[in-house]
Structure 1
């Protein structure tokens, strides 16, 4: 996969050029400058959605100077030694107690000022009046406060039978530039806010590293509210990925609408 450390400078430049070209294509696609159809017509994408195996794009294409795979340039280590840094432990996130309201909703601690979680989505109230700021995302002021679509089809399954016992409030946004928690390694550069998104504790906490650890236990239903605070400008991602998130569970815990 990676080129040899003893590869010639020509081959190293070729590999870096291929990486830069791929990044430019991904950036243009994510920011809406080109479409997948156009990339397919130009022969840059294959029918399956992969980059065409061409020199200057794919790390597996043959070199322009020799019939040897170009390979991918190695990630810089910034002078550190491999396996010399202990791994940071994840930040344990303490669960919040949940109480049942008279209406059958799941209430978070009153001090947090959070609306209670409920079986049906708040998207119903948003759809009735999209200008009502009570049901608009309070961080970006765009879209509904809850991502689940309205209606019975997207209600939490067996809500009363498995009523939440604990809960969490989190925020997903740009990595913080203060507090010393914005790097993956003690000697790695600080991550730029448009290059790294991660979670924060609470609605207004700082998003940092290492990420959180949530301890889920069988027989203990959990409700988690995560505020989407990702940049609303599609261009604010440094050309990597897209400003979207799709949190979901595995291991057959519950239906997709309850994710």
Structure 2
């Protein structure tokens, strides 16, 4: 006797653990979603190979969440690399190297606070409707074609996508930011790391000391094509705002135009958007940005 998935053609014993059967059903749903996205042209086989979901032979990878026969997370010992037992990784793959690093051995720096500027300092000046001024397109973005142009702003054109109440509540504060390949944090908007608290409240960190692009002092320095961050530095950024204070957040995509300059992972197209902000959809980021 057995339990059969008619769509996928695999078998599990009726005596299998209920959690195992649930994992198998979730895996079937995940495979169906991948097949649907692939058939609709939303992803390519190349994308699935890069993401580790397909093998180089073009078949689904035997990993947790896709195969019901991979050892599930609840059957592993979650050692997370700090003791004996399983890897604690739900895919069944080996854990990432830790280079001898132990937990809780690094101070956690406070966020790097975005610089607040008068909105009048932004160039070009913001406007209610999308700025359709044309700029040359890098040939790498358009399959090598030359002489093409595109708008400097990612919002769709027209009044329907205009900022709401732009004249009644014009933005007062401007924040200029970018997504860029990350490097050592030495300067940020012509200043050093800006936690906006004294060192005594930030684990003794001197904000004038350069912060290398490492996840831990004992781990290797990351390459710019491997890590992309706001303003191209770490720690992560923090935007401070007051309730009812109109702010214009101008975000620039400064990622490489060549999609292959990403160390094998990530796309240079962005759809950055805000969370916990009171604003309309027209103010919330676009895929054309």
In the superposition, the TM-score normalised over structure 1's length comes to 0.61
Question: Equivalent of 1:108, from 104, 112, 121?
Answer: 121
1:1-259 pair list within 5 angstroms:
34=46, 43-44=59-60, 52-53=66-67, 60=72, 71-98=92-119, 107-108=120-121, 114-123=123-132, 125-126=133-134, 143-176=150-183, 179=186, 180-200=211-231, 207-251=232-276, 253-259=278-284
The CA distance in 1 between the partners of 2:263 and 2:47, in whole Å, is 18
Unaligned runs of 5+ in 2: 1-40, 49-53, 76-89, 142-147, 187-210, 285-289
State the SS of the aligned residue for 2:46: coil
Which whole-Å deviations, capped at 9, do the CAs of 1:76-103 have from their partners, x for residues lacking one? 22112211211011112220013xxxxx
1:19 aligned residue: none
Considering Cα pairs closer than 8 Å and 6+ residues apart, tell me whether 1 or 2 has the greater RCO. 1
How far 1:167 moved relative to its partner?
A: 0.8
State the SS of the aligned residue for 2:151: coil
Q: How many residues align?
A: 188
State the SS of the aligned residue for 2:160: helix
How far 1:148 moved relative to its partner?
A: 0.7
Unaligned runs of 5+ in 1: 1-28, 63-68, 99-106, 127-131, 201-206
The CA distance in 2 between the partners of 1:30 and 1:196, in whole Å, is 25
The CA distance in 2 between the partners of 1:59 and 1:210, in whole Å, is 36
How far 1:142 moved relative to its partner?
A: 6.8
Against the structure 1 CA distance between its residues 70 and 167, is the aligned structure 2 distance closer, same or farther, given a 3 Å change threshold?
A: closer
8 A Cα contact 1:31 1:235, kept in partner = no
